[in-house]
């Protein structure tokens, strides 16, 4: 195998789990999903919970954890597989690499399964196998009960705070992601299509033997929040919203967004809104430290954006009042960010168990419902901070909303900002013992520095930041 494993870190994770849970645990890695026929699969992605404890993306494997000990269940490669896949490590080799205490074939798993807790794998075939081997129905991971819920809560407690081994990986993902964004900026003025920029950026990720942590967003239509198409031409007056992140070979992710002017020069209106979003970004990051409520960070972003839009004459009123009535959400309809780790929305397979402190539920408020994280921050947490401004037609042309916000939006003034369809600025921020560290700080956020990179003026980067 070619993945770095930190056997000591894996052992510590198992012991931490044993401290919180006294039932045996079996975690399945999952199997490849067929693309258009069984032999033509999507790239295998192991379950994140499996990766957390096993450290490497073994396919069709399981681990049993109990009392800090790990037993690996995996079949030795079949002799004929050497023809197609080369010589693969044996079960014993793999067990040594990941520090397993024992190693058995998959056929032995059933006899070691009594009373074990688990979490459903993402692929249906593995989920069916889990039910069969544990001899009980397995709930989807977001509606867990009993020992499976206890397991999920224990895993969340561990995975919420990243250990040293995780941070090494997360920093690698962040570094490659920064490189990808710089490459994307540098190619923009010469790119004909969104697809050219996407290809340039994913090139950097692939060349570093990483994969994309999620479907890249590279679009002149930033107002479409989950845009995964790349067929629009790059036109000089447009902004390009780029949300691209790398994932290391053992599954650790980065998640970064920048928005730049394709020409390398923001228009006055683009620059004005950009600076509002950046002010929210900087204010939020400045507030991150242990003990702070993430929802308060979100509301801070809302307030700063509301203030900025008041200053620009787009909104009318007091920022706090505007946030209270969710007027900011007309233009910033999503949450300020989310957990980041082995998943780009970390542990989102568990529903809100990871994102929401026990006893808290999602708000019904238009301006809070999409908030994915609602916990007090603690050291070791990695979160994104990603304020944005979007002119989403589905929101802004909605008759009820136009009526409700009739007096607080200056629609006439807003038309002058038609060249700002969507702006988002997103960084990955680690909560430290005393404050914060931005893992993606090497990628500029200031408008003039971004402009310099797009214009290909790498030398000015340092000056812009001095």
Query: In whole angstroms, what is the distance from residue 71 CA to residue 26 CA?
Result: 9
Options 226, 361, 399, 406; binder of its own copies; rule CB under 8 A: 226
Options 13, 64, 171, 198; binder of its own copies; rule CB under 8 A: 198
Q: Look at residues 46, 45, 50, 100 and name the one whose alpha carbon lies nearest to residue 72.
A: 100
**Rounded least distance, CB 133 to its own copies, Å:** 17
Q: How would you label 233-262 residue by residue, b for 16+ Cβ within 10 Å and e otherwise?
A: ebeeebbbbbbbbbbbbbbbbbbbbbbbbb
For residue 39, the tally of other CB atoms under 10 A from its CB is 8
185 contributes a contact to its own copies by CB under 8 A: no
Q: Which is nearer to its own copies, 178 or 452 (CB)?
A: 178
- Asked if residues 338 and 381 have their Cβ atoms less than 8 Å apart, the reply is no
79 contributes a contact to its own copies by CB under 8 A: yes
**Rounded least distance, CB 142 to its own copies, Å:** 8
271 contributes a contact to its own copies by CB under 8 A: no
Residue 83 is encoded by which pair of tokens?
Answer: 């023809």
What letter does residue 117 receive in the DSSP assignment? Answer: B
Options 333, 335, 355, 380; binder of its own copies; rule CB under 8 A: 333
Counting residues that bind its own copies (by CB under 8 A) gives 67
326 contributes a contact to its own copies by CB under 8 A: no
Q: State whether the Cα torsion 213-432-368-159 is positive or negative.
A: positive
**Rounded least distance, CB 68 to its own copies, Å:** 26
Residues 95-154 that bind its own copies (CB under 8 A): 122-125, 128
82 contributes a contact to its own copies by CB under 8 A: yes
- Asked if residues 253 and 174 have their Cβ atoms less than 8 Å apart, the reply is no
Q: Which is nearer to its own copies, 149 or 279 (CB)?
A: 149
Query: In whole angstroms, what is the distance from residue 241 CA to residue 227 CA?
Result: 10
395 contributes a contact to its own copies by CB under 8 A: yes
Task: Write 18-22 long-range contacts (CB < 8 A, 24+).
Answer: 18/65, 18/66, 18/67, 18/68, 20/154, 20/157, 20/158, 21/117, 21/150, 21/151, 21/154
Q: Which is nearer to its own copies, 144 or 205 (CB)?
A: 205
Residues 28-47 that bind its own copies (CB under 8 A): 33-43, 45, 47
Looking up tokens 């998959």, which residue turns up? 106
List residues near its own copies by CB under 8 A. 2, 33-43, 45, 47-48, 79-80, 82-87, 122-125, 128, 193, 195-196, 198-200, 202-209, 214-215, 221, 223-231, 251, 333, 342-345, 347-349, 392-395
């Amino acid at each position: 195998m070619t993945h770095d494993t930190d056997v000591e870190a894996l052992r510590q994770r198992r012991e931490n789990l044993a401290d919180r849970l006294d039932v045996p645990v079996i975690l399945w890695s999952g199997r490849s999903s067929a693309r258009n026929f069984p032999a033509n699969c999507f790239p295998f992605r192991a379950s994140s919970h499996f990766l957390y404890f096993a450290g490497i993306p073994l396919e069709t494997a399981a681990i049993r954890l109990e009392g800090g000990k790990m037993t690996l269940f995996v079949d030795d490669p079949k002799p004929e597989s050497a023809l197609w896949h080369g010589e693969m490590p044996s079960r014993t080799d793999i067990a040594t690499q990941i520090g397993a205490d024992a190693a058995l074939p998959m056929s032995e798993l059933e006899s070691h399964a009594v009373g074990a807790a688990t979490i459903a794998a993402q692929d249906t075939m593995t989920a069916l196998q889990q039910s069969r081997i544990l001899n009980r129905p397995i709930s989807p991971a977001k509606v867990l009960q009993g020992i499976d819920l206890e397991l999920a809560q224990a895993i969340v407690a561990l995975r919420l705070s990243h250990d040293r081994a995780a941070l090494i990986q997360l920093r690698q993902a962040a570094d490659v992601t920064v490189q990808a964004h710089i490459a994307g900026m540098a190619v923009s003025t010469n790119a004909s299509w969104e697809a050219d920029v996407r290809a340039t950026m994913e090139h950097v990720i692939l060349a570093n033997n990483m994969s994309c942590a999620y479907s890249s967003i590279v679009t002149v239509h930033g107002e479409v929040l989950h845009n995964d198409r790349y067929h629009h031409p790059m036109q000089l007056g447009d902004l390009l919203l780029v949300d691209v992140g790398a994932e290391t070979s053992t599954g650790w992710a980065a998640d970064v967004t920048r928005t730049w002017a394709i020409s390398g020069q923001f228009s006055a209106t683009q620059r004005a809104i950009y600076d509002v979003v950046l002010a929210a970004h900087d204010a939020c990051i400045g507030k991150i430290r242990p003990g702070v409520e993430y929802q308060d960070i979100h509301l801070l972003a809302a307030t700063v954006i509301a203030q900025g839009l008041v200053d620009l004459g787009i909104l009318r009123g007091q920022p706090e009042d505007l946030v209270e009535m969710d007027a900011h959400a007309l233009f910033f309809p999503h949450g300020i960010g989310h957990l980041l780790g082995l998943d780009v929305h970390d542990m989102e397979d568990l529903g809100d168990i990871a994102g929401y402190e026990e006893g808290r539920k999602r708000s019904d408020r238009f301006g809070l419902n999409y908030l994915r994280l609602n916990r007090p921050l603690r050291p070791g947490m990695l979160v994104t901070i990603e304020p944005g401004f979007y002119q989403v037609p589905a929101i802004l042309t909605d008759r009820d909303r136009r009526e409700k916000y009739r007096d607080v939006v200056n629609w006439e003034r807003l038309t002058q900002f038609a060249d700002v369809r969507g702006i988002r600025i997103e960084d990955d921020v680690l909560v430290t013992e005393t404050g914060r560290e931005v893992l993606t700080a090497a990628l500029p956020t200031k408008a003039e520095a971004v402009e310099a990179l797009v214009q290909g003026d790498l030398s000015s980067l340092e000056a812009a930041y001095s």
